[in-house]
Amino acid sequence: MPKTRLASLALCLAVVAPAHAQAPLPQLKAYEVPVGWLTPIQPLRIADHVWQIGTANITALLVKTDRGAVLIDGGMPQAADLLLAHMKALGVAPGDLRLILHSHAHGDHAGALATIKRATGATLVSNAESAALLERGGSRDIHFGDSIVYPPVRADRLLQDGEVVQLGSTAFTVSFTPGHTPGSMSWTWNDTQGGTAVRIAYLDSLTAPGYKLVKNPASPRILDSYAHSIAVIRKLPCDLLVTPHPEQSGWDYGNAARPHPRPMSCAAYADAAEAALKKQVEMQRAQQP
């Protein structure tokens, strides 16, 4: 082989051969969350037809109706098998789950929905804003970027604000409560507790964890969204309040003897959120140049 061709071959091999002397690129690492978000607990009865089947600090509600069951939120991706096992223990086979509703499309609440939907064939109900984030698996979030991703899932039905989702004799009314995410949703429906009528409100988070609330170019009207949602939540029918993170509405799912030591009204929940957001905004404005 001519020397010129040998020289060219050696140059090519030098380009494509791995540089063993250099350190390898870092491995991918999944995000970590508080341990309570991943701690299994036994199903907890919330009302006569409603059970908390999620983890110690993440709510996932199973609602039984006369035409099948409904799941509201799913928790972290790792929780999917736990949810299916809890459904089975409560007499709900995969094919008995008819609807999946949700609060917002962050990974700690929507992470398991793709697996649950695939295992059950249930209809996933969302709205336009949340559906876009669900299909991206949480990527390109306006606050978190790509740091909290999960298996993507496509919604089967998109709702308008105030729409009713009916399954048998149970009617779930959606209220759009944007702020925590642009597509945040809260749900109200009627049930009984010990045979006594009760109006249940499952309200989405009103927190802003690390959010830029002042002069945020990605969400310039975010404070208007929170103000709207706080006003809506104050007026919702609300005998029994449940939230995606139980401690925000006075629940302690791990305390079987006293799981709801600090019951809270919807108005009190709104007032607390308003006060916390005001403090957060004041701190951010004080730090503005």
Which pTM was predicted?
Answer: 0.90
Catalytically active residues, by annotation:
104, 106, 108-109, 180, 211, 245
Residue 14 lies in a domain: no
d(CA 90, CA 62): 9
For the stretch 229-249, pLDDT in tens is 999 999 999 999 999 999 999
Cβ-proximal residues to 126 (8 Å cutoff; 6+ apart), any chain: 102, 105, 134, 155, 157, 158, 159, 183, 185
Place of tokens 């905004």: 281
Q: Identify the pLDDT of residue 12.
A: 47
Q: For residues 73 and 109, is the Cβ–Cβ distance under 8 A? A: yes
d(CA 100, CA 125): 6
Q: Band the pLDDT of 11: cuts 50, 70, 90.
A: very low
Strand pairing class (157-158; 50-52) = unpaired
Nearest to 11 by CA among 25, 22, 3: 3
Distances (CA, A) of 67 to 9, 77, 98, 122, 171: 71, 27, 8, 13, 12
Mean pLDDT score, 96-115: 98
Residue 248 lies in a domain: yes
Beta bridge partners of 171: 166
Count of domains forming the chain: 1
Residue 109 lies in a domain: yes
Residue 10 lies in a domain: no
Q: Band the pLDDT of 6: cuts 50, 70, 90.
A: very low
Residue 13 lies in a domain: no
Residue 101 lies in a domain: yes
* Residue 242: CATH number of its domain: 3.60.15.10
Residue 11 lies in a domain: no
Structure tokens at 126: 């969302």
148 is in which domain, residue-wise? 34-284
Residue 136 lies in a domain: yes
Query: How many Cβ atoms from other residues are within 10 Å of residue 159's Cβ?
Result: 19
Q: Band the pLDDT of 276: cuts 50, 70, 90.
A: very high
